[in-house]
Amino acid sequence: MDGSFRFESMPAGYFTLNVISPNHYFSPVLVRVEKDGTVSARYIGDLESNILLPIVFHALNRINYSKPQSEYTFYSILTNPLIILVGVSFLLVKLQGSFSNPENSENLDNPDSAKTNKQSVSETIDWVFDPQKEG
């Protein structure tokens, strides 16, 4: 088969002829049938020029259903949301260290204060989870 077809005994009037293909796009054609049987055709986008009969369709473009993968560049890696999240987290950790109170860092260096903190933490845990002790 060569894909040709015919319409027999069409009533007079205007008709649109669309070729549908899953792989190609074709421009639709406006076909005019006169009462005496004469046929003329024009592309819908260009109504000024006539198409010679028999109508031969040519594909305007090939339909691509897949999206081409974008190339990786240094900028695309930096704008990746995961990289931005890791970078912001790293900056927050570094900035937190620079804004710390110097008195707190002195307490951490002193081992005696660490022991008292451990005792107070253990006492607090006992107080919360042991209902028999009061006070």
Reference 33, options 58, 56, 6, 59; nearest CA is: 6
What are the pLDDT tens digits along the chain (135 aa)?
577 778 888 899 999 999 899 999 999 999 999 998 888 999 888 878 888 888 888 888 998 888 888 888 999 888 999 999 999 999 888 887 766 666 656 655 666 655 555 557 777 777 677 766 554
Say how far apart CA 90 and CA 97 lie, in whole Å.
11
